[in-house]
Amino acid sequence: MAEKRCGGMGADDGNRQRSIRYILSFGILFALLLLFLVWNIRVGSVSVSYDEIIRSLLGQEIGETAANILWRIRMPRALAAAILGGALALSGYLLQTFFHNPIAGPFVLGISSGAKLTVALVMVFSLGNAFRASSGMMIIAAFVGAMLSMGFVLLMSRKVQRMSMLIISGVMIGYICSAITDLIVTFANDADIVNLHNWSKGSFSGITWENVAVMTLVVGVVFVIVFFMSKPISAYQMGEAYAQNMGIHIRLFRAALVVLSSILSACITAFAGPVSFVGIAVPHLVKNLFRTSKPILMIPACFLGGGVFCLFCDLIARTLFAPTELSISTVTAVFGAPVVILIMICRQKEKM
């Protein structure tokens, strides 16, 4: 009897501990996001003081150079890093859910590279014909590429049963697309191609407010839809058979996951080029922080975590060897790839 009561209390305590953990984790993520946002805005070849940032935000006059750097360059760039990072992590989370595979992500499955290829094509075409491709056009181009790659991955997933083989075929598609992109970039003979070259390696530089507005709209809408899907996602985590029993229309649901994750990866690729490993590393780290995989928590948490991760990586990319800028993928790979290795080691242990 005494034991039973003890057990009951333990359970309540467990629930409370969990809630505290969730709140604390969200607190940490928000704090980090804010910290890195400010840090990103402040630090660079020209340093802007906190005082100036606050004054500028309040609408007061500061020096013209400082204002320009702040409003024209750093703010849109930092916001883009946060939004696109979040989108990337969320896209990875959706793909992992879809394939029931913790190392699935837009980059390893070749979806980013597919998007990159079509965007490069559109860019080169638009340069050749002397018009500027709008943000919307870029996203659509990227989405087409992402869907093409995704279609190929899906075809492969029917043929190969093993998840590792699926990843390998995704990586191969990625290489093929990248090779073609490089070819296009190399032979596109234009001065503006330097920009394209930077973009094709992945970078948050050169983001405009117009870009930010478009990405906020697209990513925001997708985020809301995904958040409303958290309940079916939780059922889908148990496997298709059980999800079906719960009354989920499996085909519709799977199609939604594919389209939504492709839109997200397309959005990132259109604005920042391919960014590696964020989609795998962030959901994994966030899961470990929260110690749960409940979608209703994971979806916002992955988004925040992705933002933090990309802000952090972009900070390093900009400042480590300033004035030379590293490509964002270089930095995300350094921090992301070890996480992937760690996941694989843990999975192996679990099997034994």
By CB under 8 A, tell whether 230 contacts other proteins: yes
By CB under 8 A, tell whether 100 contacts other proteins: yes
Q: Which of 195, 244, 319, 330 binds other proteins (CB under 8 A)?
A: 244
CA separation for the pair 261, 279 (Å, rounded): 11
By CB under 8 A, tell whether 72 contacts other proteins: no
Q: Which residue's CB is nearer to other proteins, number 296 or number 320?
A: 296
Tell me the three-class secondary structure of the chain, residue by residue: CHHHHHHHHHHHHHHHHHHHHHHHHHHHHHHHHHHHHHHHHHCCCCCCCHHHHHHHHCCCCCCHHHHHHHHHHHHHHHHHHHHHHHHHHHHHHHHHHHHCCCCCCCCCCCHHHHHHHHHHHHHHHHHHCCCCCCHHHHHHHHHHHHHHHHHHHHHHHHHCCCHHHHHHHHHHHHHHHHHHHHHHHHHCCCCCHHHHHHHHHCCCCCCCHHHHHHHHHHHHHHHHHHHHCHHHHHHHCCCHHHHHHCCCCHHHHHHHHHHHHHHHHHHHHHHHCCCCCHHHHHHHHHHHHHCCCCHHHHHHHHHHHHHHHHHHHHHHHHHCCCCCCCCHHHHHHHHHHHHHHHHHHHHHHHHC
By CB under 8 A, tell whether 246 contacts other proteins: yes
CA separation for the pair 225, 257 (Å, rounded): 10
By CB under 8 A, tell whether 350 contacts other proteins: yes
CA separation for the pair 49, 56 (Å, rounded): 11
Q: What's the closest the beta carbon of residue 90 comes to other proteins, in angstroms?
A: 17
Q: Which of 209, 291, 341, 345 binds other proteins (CB under 8 A)?
A: 291
By CB under 8 A, tell whether 245 contacts other proteins: yes
By CB under 8 A, tell whether 228 contacts other proteins: yes
Q: What's the closest the beta carbon of residue 291 comes to other proteins, in angstroms?
A: 6
What residues contact residue 58 under an 8 Å CB cut-off, 6+ apart?
Answer: none
By CB under 8 A, tell whether 20 contacts other proteins: no
Q: Which of 292, 334, 337, 342 binds other proteins (CB under 8 A)?
A: 292
By CB under 8 A, tell whether 95 contacts other proteins: no
Q: Which of 2, 58, 130, 241 binds other proteins (CB under 8 A)?
A: 241
Per-residue binder mask for other proteins (CB under 8 A), 144-173, x = binder: ------------------------------
Interface with other proteins by CB under 8 A: which range of 35-43, 129-137, 243-251, 314-322?
243-251
By CB under 8 A, tell whether 11 contacts other proteins: yes
Q: What's the closest the beta carbon of residue 238 comes to other proteins, in angstroms?
A: 5
By CB under 8 A, tell whether 16 contacts other proteins: no
Q: Which of 238, 320, 341, 344 binds other proteins (CB under 8 A)?
A: 238
By CB under 8 A, tell whether 201 contacts other proteins: no
Interface with other proteins by CB under 8 A: which range of 45-53, 87-95, 185-193, 247-255?
247-255
CA separation for the pair 132, 351 (Å, rounded): 53
Q: Which of 23, 34, 249, 255 binds other proteins (CB under 8 A)?
A: 249
**Count, residues near other proteins per rule CB under 8 A:** 30
> Which residue carries 């079509």 as its tokens?
118
Which residues here bind other proteins, judged by CB under 8 A? 7, 10-11, 14, 100, 102, 228, 230-231, 234-235, 237-239, 241-242, 244-249, 287, 290-294, 296, 350
